[in-house]
Structure 1
Amino acid sequence: MIGGFCDPRFAKVGEAFAANFRERGELGGAVCVYEDGARRVDLWGGWANAGRTRPWREDMIVCMMSVGKGMAALCLWMLVDRGLVDMDAPVARYWPEFAQAGKGAITVRTLVTGKAGLLYADHAPDGAGFDWDVMIRALEVQEPVWEPGTDHGYHSATAGYLLGELVRRVDGRPLDRFLREEVCLPLGADYGYGAAWTDPGRVADIVPNEASHTFVQSRDVTTKLGRAWRMRPQSPDHYNDARMRSGLMPSTNGHGNARGVARIFAALACGGALDGVRLLSAATIDRMREESWFGQCAMTDRVFRYGQGFFLNEANMSPMGSNPGAFGHPGAGGALGFADPENRIAFSYSPALMCEGGGLGDRCAALSAAVYA
């Protein structure tokens, strides 16, 4: 049922992965750990669909949802590292149309840290989420919900578009192409927006959980999450819809597996480079993980510890081991990728079954803790 390998030094991770199936309701998924640039754990197992008719193979990928926002932030930081973007410059320097509706003074840093107040795309039609141009025009005329810089909140639905359009304006390539050409292909990392870049037979299904706060609230337009995600096309099986697997909605439709995401974060855990491929400088990585706020999020009403486009280690909502300096990005349902530069460790978990509650769930938390056991 479980395949792969586990270095004896990380045996607790293997034990936790097995226990997830026995004790915590795991359906199928994968976990991967890098240490000092080497893969120490690479395990997969279970089933790739709710009916338990498709075994989870070694090369399976799955929608890892908001992990994609971390990848969008990484792409933008790569442009910062190259001197092409100034974090303290107005976004409108690179994207002039963004200045509408009182947004002219919003800096790149304010945007990246979730302080811009652009939680919604109210001017986009219902279900327009896969029409990039429509979403960008809607965000250009969107009014902030607070005076930019005075509050903070997870830009759950909009961050992927905002960061992605900034990348496109500066570099010229769409976000999905930039990520593929500058990160995934050079590193050999199995990850990308949508899944059109690979064999459809490799894609595992997401199995929703009615006890997931995100799953429930994002479908109720009377909630803040529901208002934010109103632009998502409605479908009886949204997460496995053909549009999710072919379009570009970078806040939620990044597809990959633990092996691929851990490899990307392994570069960030090792000073910005892995196997001769450099993404960033070590100094830029330290800037990425500077704390910007630690408190109640204006979108979710949960307490988050947030950096510069990434979540920071916090025991309740984003557990990333024992190092407060660890940083990464979770995905709704329990997916996670993180880097721990002090210990040169990278971790990722990619499940099929969404977890309960509003955090990463007990399966991901057990695996993350086991890395440091």
Structure 2
Amino acid sequence: MTPSPRQHDRLVGLIEQGIRAGQHLGAQVYASLRGKPAVNLAVGEAAPGVAMTPETLMLWMSATKPIVAAAVMQCVERGELALDDPIARHLPPFAAEGKDAITIRHLLTHTGGFRHVPLRFPEHSWPQIIDTICAAPIEKGWEPGKTAGYHPRPSWFILGELVQRATDQPLPEYLREKLFEPLGMADCFVGIPENIYEQYHDAKRIGMLPNTEGKQLAAHPRTSKPWLIACAPASNGLGPTRQLARFYEMLLNGGTLNGARVLQPDTVEQMTHRQRAGAYDLTFQHRLDWGLGMMLDKPDRRGRMPYGHGRHASPGTFGHGGMQSSAAFGDPHHGLAVAAVFVGMPGEQIHQRRMDELLTALYEELKLANP
């Protein structure tokens, strides 16, 4: 049975409080415990005048990144790529401007060294974007594998290009075939085909992501048609939160879900355990631990780390948030999978506080809080 909102009055109250404060129009929140639904909330509006439902497709922003990391790791499992391969082995132009030593592992742990390459997305084509990144220099003084700093976008286009070259398949199609369809994520896309976009749009099933930081409600271009039909491997995953949570149910289950195996257990182990520990992150200006494509919780920083998982998350919790809007993660100690997206970007400080409050309350309502 799907839980009703009345069973989670505190969570609903927090979301409605944010609606009244102008932080967001609404939210979707989904959680499962040991594979069984525990929270399934759709509160407020998906766009002005459009009610939120559990079937609304939400923009995940950077919570997309672990999906693409899993695709890379599938290529590693098949021997098409290796974590310590230099990128230039598979994409020779990438070696330009001091980037020859950067490896696939460096990109998955955010230690590559080209964080802020200016990109014209979605105006430029995929090949143009790849050419721009390949021509960019490594950051001055950066030591690949040692210097750490979150890479918001460019490195993920490169990872997507590696998957395409390894599989001879466009990344959006590959993700659908090898991850979303086997995992029952039927309404999920990274770069939604235009004809399918029109179907969801006409049915009013695509959520808006407005900028709510100012006094005027402003639609963010990332939920416009040109952004959503293009492929941004770092940030334009789209789908209901309950389906995004299935990805974490798979990871918590060692790479399989409902009889479909998409990753081997040792691959899941690598992705969800520390590959980068204690390094100071130049982007977040905080010491953060990473697996492969995922941020990891630590007991001395729970509730305070940027884009964390709430104050009660277990030390082994792994996942990824999205800019001022989303969180998705798995907590292996509890067998808890969570995905949450707010319809509104109110600024970093407000978002960090509201998400921390929501996730902390979720643990407490499910009686998973630390004593």
Q: Is TM > 0.5 for Structure 1 vs Structure 2?
A: yes
Deviations 1:24-54 (A, max 9, x none): 33521211112222222222121112x3x11
Moved more, 165-174 or 307-316: 307-316
CA distance in 2, matches of 1:202, 1:45: 14
Partner of 1:343: 334
SS at match of 1:46: strand
1:251 maps to which residue? 234
Q: What amino acid maps onto 2:40 in structure 1?
A: D
1:315 aligned to 2:303? yes
SS at match of 2:66: helix
Distance 2:354 2:4 in 1: 18
Match for residue 326 of structure 1?
Answer: 317
Is the counterpart of residue 298 in structure 1 residue 292 in structure 2? no
2:207 to 201, 204, 208: 204
Q: CA deviation at 1:244?
A: 1.4
Shift of 1:359: 8.0
Give the CA deviation at 1:139.
1.3
The answer for the alignment partner of 1:140 in structure 2 is 134
Given that 1:261 and 1:337 are in contact with CA atoms closer than 8 Å, whether structure 2 keeps it comes out as: yes
For 1:359 and 1:131, the matched residues in 2 are separated by 35
Report the number of matched residues.
340
Give the AA of the match of 1:322.
Answer: A
Q: Percent identity?
A: 27
Matched, 1:193 2:190: yes
Measured against aligned partners, the alpha-carbon deviations of 1:75-105 in whole angstroms (never above 9, x if no partner) come to: 1122223333211222222222222222222
Q: CA RMSD in A?
A: 2.5
Partner of 2:224: 241
Asked whether the equivalents of residues 69 and 159 of structure 1 are also in contact (C-alpha less than 8 Å), the reply is no
1:47 counterpart residue number: 45
- What is residue 70 of structure 1 aligned with on the other side? 66
Change (3 A) 1:187 1:299: same
8 Å CA contact 2:102, 2:112 repeated in 1 = yes
CA distance, structure 1, for counterparts of residue 122 and residue 15 of structure 2: 38
Tell me the CA shift for residue 65 of structure 1. Answer: 0.8
Q: 1:356 is matched by which residue type in structure 2?
A: G
Relative to the length of structure 2, the TM-score reads 0.83
Deviates more, 1:309-318 or 1:149-158: 309-318
* Secondary structure of the structure 2 residue equivalent to 1:140: helix
CA distance in structure 2 between the aligned counterparts of 1:261 and 1:332, rounded to whole angstroms: 16
Aligned to 1:229: none
Rounded to whole Å, the distance in 2 between the matches of 1:34 and 1:237 is: 30
Which one-letter code corresponds to 1:116 in the other structure?
G
Residue in structure 1 matching 2:15, options 10, 21, 27: 21
Q: Label 1:165 to 1:16 Cα distance change in 2 as closer, same or farther (>3 A).
A: farther
2:105 is equivalent to residue 105 of structure 1: no
Distance, in Å, in 2 between the alignment partners of 1:40 and 1:47 is 22
Quote the Cα distance in structure 2 between the aligned partners of 1:6 and 1:319.
26
TM-score by length of 1: 0.83
- Listed as ranges, the gaps of 5+ residues in structure 1 are 212-234
Contact 2:172 2:192 in 1 (8 A): no
Q: Is the 8 A contact 2:182 2:260 kept in 1?
A: yes
1:3-22 maps to which residues of 2 (within 5 A)? 5=3, 14-22=8-16
Q: Name the CA distance, whole Å, in 1 between partners of 2:42 and 2:288.
A: 29
> Partners in 2 of 1:187 and 1:96 — Cα distance?
34
Task: Give structure 2 stretches of 5+ with no counterpart.
Answer: none
Contact 1:187–1:274 (CA under 8 A) maintained in structure 2: yes
DSSP-derived class of the 1:330 partner? strand
In structure 2, the partner of 1:218 is none
Letter of the 1:315 counterpart:
G
Match of 1:181 among 177, 186, 197: 177
Check whether the contact 1:130–1:248 (CA below 8 A) recurs between aligned residues: no
Identify the residue that residue 289 of structure 1 maps to in structure 2: 272
Deviation at 1:267, TM superposition (A): 0.4
Distance 1:329 1:299, change over 3 A: same
Shift in Å, 1:132: 0.8
Deviations 1:138-183 (A, max 9, x none): 1112211023223111111213202111111211212211111111
Quote the Cα distance in structure 1 between the aligned partners of 2:296 and 2:350.
14
Q: Secondary structure at the match of 1:48?
A: strand
Would the aligned equivalents of 1:32 and 1:262 in 2 still touch at CA under 8 Å? yes
Following TM superposition, by how much is the alpha carbon of 1:285 offset from its aligned partner in structure 2, in angstroms?
A: 1.3
C-alpha change, 1:36 and 1:247, in structure 2 (3 Å) is same
CA distance in 1, matches of 2:17, 2:121: 38
State the 1:358 CA deviation.
4.9
Counterpart residue type for residue 32 of structure 1: Y
Contact 2:30 2:339 in 1 (8 A): yes
Q: Does 1:88 align with 2:84?
A: yes
Structure 2 CA distance, aligned partners of 1:274 and 1:127? 34
Q: Counterparts of 1:108 and 1:127 in 2: how far apart (Å)? A: 23
Aligned residue in 2 for 1:226: none
Structure 2 residue matching 1:249: 3-state secondary structure: coil
The answer for the alignment partner of 1:222 in structure 2 is none
Offset of residue 366 of structure 1 = 2.9
